[in-house]
Structure 1
Amino acid sequence: MDTTTMPTTTDIWHSGDLDLDAYLARIGQARATPSAAALTALHEAHVRAIPFENIDPLLGRSPSLAIGDIADKLVHRRRGGYCYEHNLLLAAALEQLGYDVVRQTARVQPDSGGPRTHMNLRVHVDGTDYLADTGFGAGIMHPMPLRTGTEFDQAGWRYRLSADEGGLRLEKFTDGEWRAEYSFGPEPQQPIDYEVANHYVATHPRSPFTGRIVVMRLSDGVCRKLIGKHLVAEHPDGSREHTVIGPDDLAGALRSLDLHLDAADLHLVRERYAGEG
């Protein structure tokens, strides 16, 4: 069989469609030779710069997963997005920089029958495979080596990986016990796999992203979330501050989470927000 015209993995994902310099400027990073330290710095910078948000599904739009469209939204228009957008963007940047990247899927809340709808990445550098995931809400700040039995500090919260049938589980120490955030295996995915999952997540009435606003930001020692009308700041010691946000307070709350909508979208979100129970 003649393989000379078969697409490479990078071609399948169209990583070259990303303006890498614009992405690096968005997150405040310079080009660097692939290394574990450079991967960590890039991952952290992405989490700090780009919000997790569901404005498009909330307004009845299914986000495009084309790299050019993701970059236009998250990089050039300085919006945020959810897991597919964040991690497809990160994967394209990493591949352009010379990293070996595998795109995977994960089952959310595996102990309660959650769906296999989350996207994460396996990145190989310096002889080690790492879990990279900039799109799990306000999840992990830094990539984690794919090994069990080691606890990792993620912006003040305790995380670890444990063995799971056929793969691994990402666990977070919460309320005195380890709880599974998601489980995942090593199987590489194809673009169509995310198109199918994205359709469900963006359109299904039982999706957590179609019925109420979700915006999340992670920084050292504080996780800030706007879930519906509730603005919450959580801390690793379990303490939290809670504020109920009304329609007139919405724009300010979004700005406090580094999310700046244009006037048209802000109007539509405010209308949707006012109708929430």
Structure 2
Amino acid sequence: MNATTQHSETASDEWGVDELDLDAYLDRIGQSRSEPSAAALTALHEAHVRTIPFENIDPLLGTSPTLELTAISAKLVQRDRGGYCYEHGLLFAAALERLGYRVTRLAARVNPDKPGPKTHLNLVVRADGADHLVDVGFGAGVLRPMQLRDGVVVDQGGWKHRLTRDGRYWRLEKQTADGWSALHAFDDTPQHQIDYEVFNHYVATHPRSPFTGQLVVMRLDDGISRKLLGNRLITEYADGRTEESRVPPEQLAATLRELDIVLDPAELDALLQLYPDPAESH
């Protein structure tokens, strides 16, 4: 048994990648099977981000998302639903491994210039002899992979992002009007399934988690970023324009559908019980 085979079998045992219906996943994002390459990785990454929303509806309703691959697939592949970083990352990692890529599952600290937990799931993927940051679960941030090279700058749907090396850590930064702003930082320490179970419990239940207090839905495409935060729908354009409006309860279901999320009646009713009325917002 060579090292690559051993790595693949170990990954399959721990992450359950063989349980993924790869064809169903590829059909969901409108892609087909192809040989591993940087170009194919980019196409898969873009298709995933454009198709499957970032959303926190389960933790907002008091349910911790289940991180078993079959449960993630049932939600993100078989339904018009999305999820947050653990669900996106574990699903995408499994699909990539099934397609023959070498994948390392990592953990990043969001807003690394401030003290806080290291809870974000990101991936490093080998393609065409180089390592790439793969981050399909970073909200409305990363549309395309980024080669893991100090100083590399990649256009992410119209917003420039770069990677810099700071000691043992890689920093993902976004260009703003005030300069480069750090988004998250990570090192090359591989994580295990149990690590994400611990992170997921904190993020899905802690009162100071950004995902337990208000609705968060994010969508990213070339030139446009849409975010539903509580009852505020914010649309940002790469040319600097921003639009914001309040979404009343009676328009919530339609707005979610526009963001590619379809809830069943029980989910929608439960969400409306927590949803702030714009007339009562200040």
TM range (shorter): over 0.9
Equivalence for 2:101? 99
* TM-align CA RMSD: 1.5
What does the per-residue CA deviation read over 1:227-254, in whole Å, with 9 as the maximum and x for residues that have no partner? 0111000112322000011111111211
Q: Percent identical across equivalent pairs?
A: 59
Residue 25 of structure 2, aligned match among 16, 23, 26: 23
User: Mean Cα displacement is larger for which, 53-62 or 143-152?
Assistant: 143-152
Deviation at 1:177, TM superposition (A): 0.7
Aligned partner of 2:154: which letter?
Answer: F
Between the two proteins, the alignment pairs up a number of residues equal to 273
Conserved 8 A contact 1:225-1:231:
yes
Matched with 2:270 is 268
SS of the counterpart of 1:253? helix
Residue 139 of structure 1 aligns to a residue whose secondary structure is: coil
2:198 aligns with: 196
Deviation at 1:163, TM superposition (A): 1.2
Unaligned runs of 5+ in 1: none
Match of 2:258 in 1: 256
Q: For residue 106 of structure 1, what is the amino acid of its counterpart?
A: A
In the TM superposition, what whole-angstrom CA distance separates every residue of 1:206-263 from its partner, at most 9, and x where no partner exists?
Answer: 0000010000000110100000111000112322000011111111211111111111
TM-score (norm 2): 0.94
Q: Tell whether 2:238 aligns with 1:232.
A: no
**Distance in 2 separating the partners of 1:273 and 1:152:** 37
Give the 5 Å matches for 1:25-174.
Answer: 25-174=27-176
Kept in 2: contact 1:175–1:238 (CA 8 A): no
Contact kept? 1:122, 1:132, Cα under 8 Å: yes
Quick one: which amino acid aligns to residue 120 of structure 1? N
CA distance in 1, matches of 2:261, 2:242: 21
After TM superposition, the runs of 4+ consecutive aligned structure 1 residues lying more than 3 A away are 274-277
8 Å contact 2:233–2:245 — kept in the other structure?
A: yes
CA contact (8 A) 2:231 2:276 kept: no
Contact 2:234 2:245 in 1 (8 A): yes
Structure 2 stretches lacking a partner, 5+ long: 1-5
State the alpha-carbon separation in 2 of the partners of residues 11 and 175 from structure 1. Answer: 46
Tell me, yes or no, if the aligned pair for 2:104 and 2:190 is still in contact at 8 Å.
Answer: yes
